[in-house]
Chain A
Amino acid sequence: DTGVSQDPRHKITKRGQNVTFRCDPISEHNRLYWYRQTLGQGPEFLTYFQNEAQLEKSRLLSDRFSAERPKGSFSTLEIQRTEQGDSAMYLCASSWSLAANTGELFFGEGSRLTVL
Chain B
Amino acid sequence: GENVEQHPSTLSVQEGDSAVIKCTYSDSASNYFPWYKQELGKRPQLIIDIRSNVGEKKDQRIAVTLNKTAKHFSLHITETQPEDSAVYFCAASKSGGSYIPTFGRGTSLIVHP
Binary contact track B56-74/A, C-beta < 8 Å → 1, others 0: 0000000000000000000
Contact of B93 with A43 in the complex, beta carbons under 8 Å: no
Q: How many interface residues does chain A have, given as a range?
A: 20 to 34
Residue of B nearest to A43 (CB): B103
Interface 0/1 of B39-63, CB less than 8 Å to A: 0001111100100000000000000
Q: Judge whether A65 is part of the interface by a CB distance below 8 angstroms.
A: no
Is A97 touching B99 in the complex (CB atoms < 8 A)?
A: yes
Q: Mark B1-17, 1 if CB is under 8 A from A, else 0.
A: 00010100100000000
A55 to B32, CA, bound (A): 20
- Encode B70-113 as 1/0 by CB contact (under 8 A) with A: 00000000000000000001010101001111111110000000
Q: How many A-B residue pairs have CB under 8 A?
A: 59
Task: State the CA gap A40–B104 with chains docked (Å).
Answer: 10
Q: Are B105 and A41 in contact (CB under 8 A)?
A: yes
Chain A residue with Cβ nearest B102:
A45
Bound CA span A110–B40, Å:
13
Number of interface residues of B (CB under 8 A): 25
B104 CB to nearest chain A CB (Å): 5
Residue in A closest to B108 when the chains form the complex, CB atoms: A40
Query: Taking CB as reference atom, which chain A residue is nearest B32?
Result: A103
Contacts of B99 in A (CB 8 A): 31, 95, 97, 102-103
Question: Residues of A contacting B95 with CB < 8 Å?
Answer: 102-103
Main secondary structure of the interface of A (DSSP, over half): loop
A45 CB to closest chain B CB (Å) equals: 6
Considering only residues 77-116 of chain A, those with a C-beta below 8 Å from chain B are: 91, 95, 97, 101-105, 107-110
CA A31 to CA B45, docked complex, whole Å: 17
8 A Cβ contacts from A50-67 to B: 55-56
Interface pairs A-B: 6 shortest CB-CB:
A42-B103, A107-B43, A109-B43, A43-B103, A107-B44, A104-B46
A-B contact pairs, 16 of them (CB 8 A): A35-B103, A40-B106, A42-B104, A45-B100, A48-B98, A55-B98, A97-B99, A101-B49, A103-B32, A103-B95, A105-B34, A105-B44, A105-B46, A107-B44, A108-B43, A109-B43
